[in-house]
Amino acid sequence: MSQNSSSASSKISTYLMMIVLIVLALSIVALLLSVSAFTEGNEMLAGFLLVIGFLAMGLSVYVMFQSRKRAANMKIESPKVMTTIECKKCGFKSVREFQRGDFVFKDLEPCQKCNDKMIITAIYKEVKDKEKTYGI
């Protein structure tokens, strides 16, 4: 499920990037037109195109930076998958990050305390409290 949502968000950002690039290209065209309008002596039009060109350029750069920032935030906030390891004999418990090949009831290295075999008792996604609460 998380795979689907991440690919969907990357599709949206690609779409957004295309719009940003088009706006950026249009702003450059507007600036070029403003230069040619200025050389033709049409200062009103030149000023108008200059303002539009700079606004469009500023907007597209702003959107680009915002979406990049959001992508970076999403990467950090993606929940970690944790694995709980337990010793059935002495009850020693430890939690570490999920590793490839982990599954519940898998035998692992011997216990640090009693040298009995430890097993994986739970695999879960770590959900931060911040994501659960919604401020009003």
List residues near Zn ion by CB under 5 A. 87, 89-90, 92, 111, 113-114, 116
When the beta carbons of 70 and 117 are compared against Zn ion, the nearer one is: 117
Helices 2-39, 43-77: crossing angle, 10 deg rounding: 160
Residue 49 CA to residue 43 CA, distance in Å, equals 10
When the beta carbons of 30 and 87 are compared against Zn ion, the nearer one is: 87
When the beta carbons of 64 and 108 are compared against Zn ion, the nearer one is: 108
Smallest distance from the beta carbon of 83 to Zn ion, in angstroms?
A: 17
Quote the tokens at residue 110.
């011997």
Smallest distance from the beta carbon of 124 to Zn ion, in angstroms?
A: 22
Smallest distance from the beta carbon of 94 to Zn ion, in angstroms?
A: 11
When the beta carbons of 9 and 115 are compared against Zn ion, the nearer one is: 115
Question: Whose CA is closest to 129, among 79, 90, 66, 83?
Answer: 79
Inter-residue contact 105 to 120 (CB < 8 Å): yes
Smallest distance from the beta carbon of 101 to Zn ion, in angstroms?
A: 22
- Residue 86's DSSP bridge partners are 93, 119
